Amino acid sequence: MEHNTFPIEGLIEFVPRVFRDDRGFFLETFSMKWFEPFGIQPNFVQDNQSVSAKGVLRGLHFQKPPYAQGKLVRVSSGRALDVAVDLRKGSPTYGQYATCLLDAAKLNVFYIPEGFAHGFVALEDNTTFLYKCTDFYNPASEGGIIWNDPAIGIDWGVATPLVSPKDEVLPLLKDFESPF
């Protein structure tokens, strides 16, 4: 198991060992042991899946406390640029973002703790996005930041992404009071 950390504290990319032979391959897609070196013990309670066409952008979403969610994300087919924006009050990296290219060929996994807005853009058709969450979805606790906020300046790598009407009207970071 390899792992990579990011300049924003708490974000971790895991690259599992893949055992390949002429029959195919095997890997662990999740293990609590991955988190031991970091002293964290996330409690995942819900798994979600989405399938997106190339250019579909979903985000930037979060759940407000007490239903805040940490996420463990990966793709099982296709590729996605995954984005995490730090929304933790008092964080030295508040309002900054990090990206992780999730790739079904690489089989990597990205951990995003509570206190981040999260989104991704599918870079290939039929990108299957899988994620574990540390709390259940609660519609009343849903929140977000507009995907193209100029103050954040995310380079999604897609000229004209397909974004839901709901995601097109999310607030700017400057108009947002962080609950984290």
Active site residues: 61, 131
- C-beta of residue 64 within 8 angstroms of C-beta of residue 33: no
Q: Spell out the residues 6+ positions from residue 160 whose beta carbon is closer than 8 angstroms to its own.
A: 55
Tell me which H or E stretch contains 38: none
Q: Spell out the residues 6+ positions from residue 175 whose beta carbon is closer than 8 angstroms to its own.
A: none
Tokens matching residue 102 = 């999730």
Tally Cβ neighbours within 10 Å of residue 138: 13
Q: Provide the residue type at 4 as one letter.
A: N
Tell me which H or E stretch contains 168: helix 165-168
Phi, psi torsion values for 107, nearest 5 degrees: 65, 30
